[in-house]
Structure 1
């Protein structure tokens, strides 16, 4: 695959990049849909499904890219994609949703934002310590800590959902009718879409690295901006229509949950299992890390501020402006 991609002209690389983005996100949606129905058929709790299958599904594209990057030895690409996706989701995705319709805030989301902020500070602190002794890199122990935090996060989600169920009426909400599909058919869909995801992720990384090389820019920059926006595009559309239809609170919870999995699972896998040390370009210290902290603190303030119970249009515009600043800073660095 790599040998073929390196022979393509620039327009061919762009075409491969766009095609694999579409295939990656669409195949991930189909796989998650069948996995959810299989879990329901097996009698697994909706809470457990939401905290595992759906949570993983929202970051499946990034996970596939991370695994592919590990095998190809371009792990800084994966770190850039996962970290850039957090910034993208919490700024332009959430901002567009708030512009389309106000987003109610639930206080229990604050604990997940705090977890995101804590993990981000740990990542930045460790990277800054290594920068003081020479070239900045991410120590392997950071990835191990991130992976160990995932069970604690899932426990937090399950406990919160159980508490919410006790507060609400016990009348069950009927699930939408689903045409019964044979288990073996669903398994074939999962295997087939899994193969599409693996091939698409591999080709996407190859094309992105080749494009970055020809433009003489870091592949970490490409992954933190263009690839991060591309893999977050389904969440962008979902947030827009969810907020417009009056389900903005659900959009907020899904966005924050996806970001926790991006930071802990995707970065955790990449850092812990990288075959080589992950060195960071200087732009991470001057742009990525400051913008990551800025957007997390801003969203945290919107949630904790007692004078409001929603993220409104003005705050949505502010979040979109933060994303614009993020992209502009990268362009300035280039």
Structure 2
């Protein structure tokens, strides 16, 4: 009963936090005169990736490396399969050229870099973490200086310019609400999953990863409802990049992460690479530079199949 209460309270906090974060992100993009997708890929992505960072560092330090790795790999799969799938089912997203010239390639490069670092020796070493964080820093500098909007803004006229103190307040409250909501949700979900005797890897790749992807889901659905699709797509792509380069990079700098359950290397990591790659052809098929409800069904179907094969 306590676990169920944690899950419900966690969801409420995540939805409220997602709304606050979105308000702050839109106002920040206006105040700094930078594209909303850049804000989505930096400020919003970092805030919604905070739960993954906290969970992964704590799991690695507590001696549960599979929970740390499963959390990030599972979150990246959930962000694109579950979150993006649900988001485009609610409303199509028109995509611009810079999505496939910058944003998607960087996500794939980050995914491949992680794969190369961990697949052959089963360990993410400290120096590899330093290289991942350095790559993230270079990407962020490029993004802030050169990135152009990758998504059309449908309703620019309804954007609200907030005073700086309100932006900081909404960012702070949104981030804290997302973190607190994720903590409650994870505690409740892991408590329920552990009762069924599920392994660390399976808990990490399914329950915890979905729990830590709820902030992205909340922020993206709210963004779509409010016609802020640039923030929605940028948040998801940016979050996957942050998860790999910042979350696993910083965690492995603090303590090397060793794979314990080989299922992560024989199955999960290939699912992550596959679903990350799938987003590109879906952007062009059936209608060029658009993600629509058909793509949502494909992504959601892939995610459901992934969870089914992992749990059974």
Tell me which interval the TM-score lies in, with the shorter structure as reference length.
0.7 to 0.9
2:244 to 263, 268, 272: 263
Give, in angstroms, the shift of residue 319 of structure 1. 0.8
Over 3 Å counting, the alpha-carbon distance change for 1:176 and 1:124 in structure 2 is same
8 Å contact 2:15–2:218 — kept in the other structure? Answer: no
1:318 to 295, 298, 308: 298
Cα offset for 1:267?
Answer: 1.5
8 Å CA contact 2:15–2:215 kept in 1: the answer is yes
- Residue-pair matches, total: 305
The reply to whether residue 82 of structure 1 matches residue 63 of structure 2 is no
Going from structure 1 to structure 2, the CA distance change for 1:296 and 1:177 (only over 3 Å counts) comes to closer
Partners of 1:312 and 1:209 in 2: how far apart?
Answer: 33
Distance 1:195 1:27 in 2: 8
Tell me how large the CA RMSD over aligned residues is: 3.9
Q: Deviations over 1:35-59 (max 9, x none)?
A: 997x79xx76656866643331232
* 2:156 is aligned with 1:156: no
C-alpha contact (below 8 Å) 1:96/1:239 kept by paired residues: no
CA contact (8 A) 1:66 1:270 kept: yes
With over 3 angstroms needed to count, the CA separation of the structure-2 counterparts of 1:103 and 1:280, relative to structure 1, is farther
Structure 1 unaligned segments of length 5 or more: list them: 1-10, 131-135
2:113 is the alignment partner of 1:122 = yes
Superimposed CA distance per residue, residues 280-330 of structure 1 (whole angstroms, 9 cap, x where no aligned partner): 412212331121111111102234679612122222211111111111111
Residue pair 1:68, 1:198 contacting (<8 A) in 2 also = no
Task: Say whether the 8 Å CA contact 1:287–1:329 is kept in structure 2.
Answer: no
Is the Cα contact below 8 Å between 2:14 and 2:181 reproduced in 1?
Answer: yes
- Among 160, 164, 167, the alignment partner of 1:176 is 160
- Gapped runs of 5+ residues in structure 2? none
1:21 and 1:231 in contact (8 A); partners too: no
Structure 1 residue 141 corresponds to structure 2 residue 127: yes
In structure 2, distance between residues paired with 1:200 and 1:210: 15
Whether contact under 8 Å (1:32, 1:57) holds in the other structure is: no
Q: Deviations over 1:217-240 (max 9, x none)?
A: 222321221222233234334444
Residues in 1 aligned to 2:18 and 2:219: alpha-carbon distance in whole angstroms: 14
Q: What's the counterpart of residue 58 of structure 1?
A: 48
Mapping 1:1-334, distance limit 5 Å = 11-20=1-10, 22-23=12-13, 26=16, 30=20, 46=34, 52-110=42-100, 111-130=102-121, 136-161=122-147, 163=148, 176-178=160-162, 186=169, 190=172, 211-240=192-221, 242-243=223-224, 247-274=228-255, 277-303=257-283, 308-332=288-312
The structure number with the bigger radius of gyration is 1
Q: For residue 117 of structure 1, report the CA deviation from its aligned partner.
A: 1.7
- Give the Cα–Cα distance (whole angstroms) in 2 for the partners of residues 35 and 303 of structure 1: 25
1:103 Cα deviation after fit: 1.6
- 1:70 positional shift: 4.2
Relative to structure 1, the CA distance from residue 210 to residue 272 in structure 2 (aligned partners, 3 Å threshold; closer, same or farther) is farther
Change (3 A) 1:211 1:262: same
Q: Distance in 1 between matches of 2:293 and 2:234?
A: 18
With the length of structure 2 as denominator, give the TM-score of the two structures.
0.77
Deviations 1:2-56 (A, max 9, x none): xxxxxxxxx434433554465467557657867997x79xx76656866643331
